[in-house]
Amino acid sequence: MEIDELREVANDLPFLKSGQDREKLLGVVGALVLRRISLDKAAEIMNMQKDAFLTLLETIGVDFSYLEKEDLEAEKSW
């Protein structure tokens, strides 16, 4: 994906005030999903409380869990 394409995606996120915050959110979500950073670190980078950041993730449809894929499957089968 080109930088301009990412900026277009970021501009479609109306809940953050600045374009810089929207772009930062894309990077933070990517790093979080790839497990490069923790939820605590992601919230810190975004200058948000952890609960508020989790709510933001839920609002934009990012399914985040601390569990590994195998653990999620085991939990779903209970």
Q: Is the pLDDT of residue 46 over 80?
A: yes
Phi-psi region of 67 (alpha: psi -120 to 50; beta: other; left: phi over 0): beta
What is the arithmetic mean of pLDDT over 43-53? 90
- Dist. CA 54–CA 2, nearest whole Å: 28
Is 43 or 3 the better-scoring residue by pLDDT?
43
Range of the structural domain that residue 42 is part of: 3-76
The pLDDT value given to residue 40: 92
Contact 10, 43 (CB under 8 A): no
Structure token pair of residue 17: 């005030």
Q: Is the pLDDT of residue 5 over 60?
A: no
Overall number of domains in the chain: 1
Which stretches within the chain are classed as H helix? 3-11, 19-33, 39-45, 50-59, 69-76
pTM: predicted TM-score of the whole model, two decimal places: 0.67
